[in-house]
Amino acid sequence: MSESASSPNPVVVIGAGIAGLSAAVSAAEQGAPVVLVDRAGPLEAGGNTRWTSAYFRLDDVYEPGESFVDEVVGFSGGRTPAWYFEELVERLPETMEWIQGHGARFRRLPTYFINSNRPRLQPHGGGEALLSALRPVAEKLGVEFRYHCTAQRLMTEDGRVTGVEVSGPEGEQVLRARAVIIASGGFEGDQAALGEALPGDVTNLIPIAPGVTFNKGEGIRMALEIGARRGGQWDSFHAEPVDPRAENPEALVMVFPYGILVNKHGERFIDEGRGTVDETYESTARAVWAQPGGVAYFITDRKFERVADRERGLLTGRKPVSADTIEELAAALELPADRLAETVGAYNKSVADGEFDWRRPDGKGTEGIEPPKSNWALTVDEAPLLAYPVACAIVFTFGGLETDAGARVVDEDGAAIPGLYAAGECTGIYHDKYPGGTSVLRGMVFGRVAGQAAATA
């Protein structure tokens, strides 16, 4: 295997998403030579970051909000370590100052969660804008980009990471390094690994965007091979409900509380209105995945027009299936007509009186039906009847590497592995429910921490 390094003793960064570019720029700013490898070509590199709107769970640019740490830790039932997000909050002002110094600009925007009134912060131009801000800085600082270059294995000497083996058009090569920073995303792009880790039919999961397919988990695996400790919930992932017909990425259907969800048998299977969309979209997507064929149908009617902001919750590029009667709708969706008519009839009978208010949990629910619907229960009986197919999209996996506050990868005893750092999706911290708006932010904060530390390793 040939040795290949145009700069002596560089920091090698694996992955050119937000975590990798933040790391590369920060290490180069400290004066270290940096080589950044990415399996994709220059137009495709950037993984999930290229495709995200990159909402930040922040009240304002330097303001995480009072209950930020409690809230995000609460999403995991207490299993996500609080120190991780405390460190993030501590590092937030300097990191936001830094990224703005490189040209990124932020604004507060309402999201596709139309019945939660908390706006989130977003960089103008989303994740791609963050990459576009950092890439030229990296180039100017002399970071050497190697595209079509896939990291495969770590090299060690006396327990210290000394380089990485990569494969690319020139075959296999060794990159010697003073430190290696893994920033190569999760394993959401590897069906076999997903099949081993997740409890369900992974062939029914839809990649949320093309970036998913580049993240096949080598970065995580190579660290585990040398004794790194696992973090995060390995049998779970960030899920979103999408329209499987759509060709556009992130074809979200975030309006499911304003109608009913039925499976292929024409049966309801979940309380569609048990909370705001923000609180329930991920568990709804997972419940859809558990249905036969991993698909469900959101069915509503003309009264959907009362939901003034409905278009904001519908990112699918496809129109709804429309019909005048339940029989016609069943035929169009290829559902059993009798069963669907029974389901809709029973649901309509169960709808209790009350004031409908799409903006907030309105308590207008059902009575005497299983599963119940706790809010936003209106009958489904006014033509045109409308339906969107819904499937479960995978955004990223929760399982990854454990790191310390200095972004150092730790071993089974909790000791830092010398010369090895990690940031972004490849570090495992999430459990149960993803606290939206934290993934890009943490990739940037801890990518920068890793880059600064690795430069002086």
Ligand X SMILES: Cc1cc2nc3c(=O)[nH]c(=O)nc-3n(C[C@H](O)[C@H](O)[C@H](O)COP(=O)(O)OP(=O)(O)OC[C@H]3O[C@@H](n4cnc5c(N)ncnc54)[C@H](O)[C@@H]3O)c2cc1C
| Binding residues for ligand X (CB under 6 A) | 14-20, 37-40, 45-49, 51-55, 127, 150-151, 183-185, 208-209, 211, 214-216, 218-219, 249-250, 395-396, 424-425, 437-441, 443
Using CA atoms, how far apart are residues 303 and 450, in angstroms rounded to an integer?
Answer: 52
Closest CB 170 distance from ligand X, rounded Å: 15
- In angstroms, the CA 410 to CA 376 distance is 47
Helices (H) and strands (E) in the chain — how many of each? 10, 20
CB of residue 286 to ligand X, shortest distance in Å: 17
Token reading at 100: 């703005």
322 is written with which tokens? 């429309």
Cβ-based nearer residue to ligand X, 225 or 324: 225
Query: Closest approach of Cβ 249 to ligand X, in Å?
Result: 5
Q: Which is nearer to ligand X, 374 or 439 (CB)?
A: 439
At 315 the three-state DSSP class reads coil
Q: Give least dist CB 216 to ligand X, A.
A: 6
Q: How far apart are CA 202 and CA 9, in angstroms?
A: 41
- For residue 300, give both structure tokens: 């509503």
Minimum separation from the CB atom of position 166 to ligand X (A): 7
Residue with tokens 């089974």: 412
- Closest to 121 in 3D by CA, of 59, 51, 50: 59
> Considering beta carbons, is residue 254 or 385 the nearer one to ligand X?
254
Taking the complex as a whole, how short is the minimal distance between the CB of residue 302 and ligand X, in angstroms? 31
CA gap 301, 389 in Å, rounded: 15
Our CB check for ligand X shows the closer of 153 and 303 to be: 153
Residue with Cβ nearer ligand X (283 or 348): 283
Other C-beta atoms lying within 10 Å of the C-beta of residue 275: 17
Whose Cβ is closer to ligand X: residue 154's or residue 326's?
154
Spatial separation of the C-alpha atoms in residues 88 and 81, rounded to whole Å: 12
